[in-house]
Amino acid sequence: MTCLCKQLAGNDIELSPTCIGSLWIFQNIAPDDIQAIARNALRKKMKRGQTLFLQGDTADEVFLIKGGRIKLTKVLEDGTELMLDIRKAGDFVGENMFTEEGQYPVSAVCLEDTITCGFTRAQFEELILRHPTVGLQVIKTLSERISWLTIRVGSLAVSNIEDRLYRVLRYVAKEHGEQSPRGLVIQFPLTHEDLSFLTGAHRVTITRAMKALKKAGKIILEDRRLILPALKTA
- Residues 51-98 pLDDT 10s: 999 999 998 998 999 999 999 988 888 887 777 888 888 888 988 887
The stretch 37-54 carries a mean pLDDT of 90
| CA dist., res. 187 & res. 61, Å (int) | 29
| CA dist., res. 181 & res. 144, Å (int) | 34
| CA dist., res. 9 & res. 38, Å (int) | 16
Give CA 106 to chain center in angstroms: 12
pLDDT digits (tens, 9 = 90+) for 140-162: 666 666 655 555 555 555 568 88
| Rg (the chain; Cα; Å) | 19
| CA dist., res. 171 & res. 88, Å (int) | 13
> Mean pLDDT across the chain, nearest whole number?
81
The torsion angle over the Cα atoms of residues 42, 9, 34 and 90, rounded to 10 degrees, is -100
What's this model's pTM, rounded to 2 decimal places? 0.64
- Please report the domains of the chain, with CATH numbers, ordered by start residue: 5-156 (2.60.120.10), 161-228 (1.10.10.10)
Q: What's the pLDDT score for residue 142?
A: 62
β partners of residue 184: 179, 228
Q: What's the pLDDT score for residue 234?
A: 47
**Residue 113 to residues 11, 202, 216, 226, 227, Cα–Cα distance (Å):** 12, 30, 35, 21, 23
pLDDT digits (tens, 9 = 90+) for 161-213: 888 888 888 888 887 788 888 888 887 777 787 787 677 777 788 889 999 99
pLDDT digits (tens, 9 = 90+) for 63-75: 999 999 999 988 8
